[in-house]
Amino acid sequence: MAHYRDDLDAVLLALADPTRRRIVRRLGRGPASVGELARPFEMTLPSFMKHVRTLESSGVIRTSKTGRVRSCVLNRDRLALVDDWLAEQRELWSDRTDRLEAFVTDRHADRATEQKEPS
The predicted-structure confidence for 1-12, as pLDDT tens digits, reads as follows 667 788 999 999
User: Rounded to whole angstroms, how far apart are CA atoms 82 and 114?
Assistant: 48
Q: At what angle do helices 2-15 and 18-27 cross, to 10 degrees?
A: 100
pTM for this entry: 0.74
69 pLDDT above the threshold of 90: yes
In degrees rounded to 5, what are phi and psi of residue 15? -85, -5
Averaged over 74-82, what is the pLDDT? 94
In degrees rounded to 5, what are phi and psi of residue 31? -60, 155
Q: What is the CATH number of the domain that holds 42?
A: 1.10.10.10
Tally the residues of the chain. 119
User: Rounded to whole angstroms, how far apart are CA atoms 25 and 22?
Assistant: 5
Domain of residue 38 covers: 2-77
**Is residue 46 situated within a structural domain?**
yes
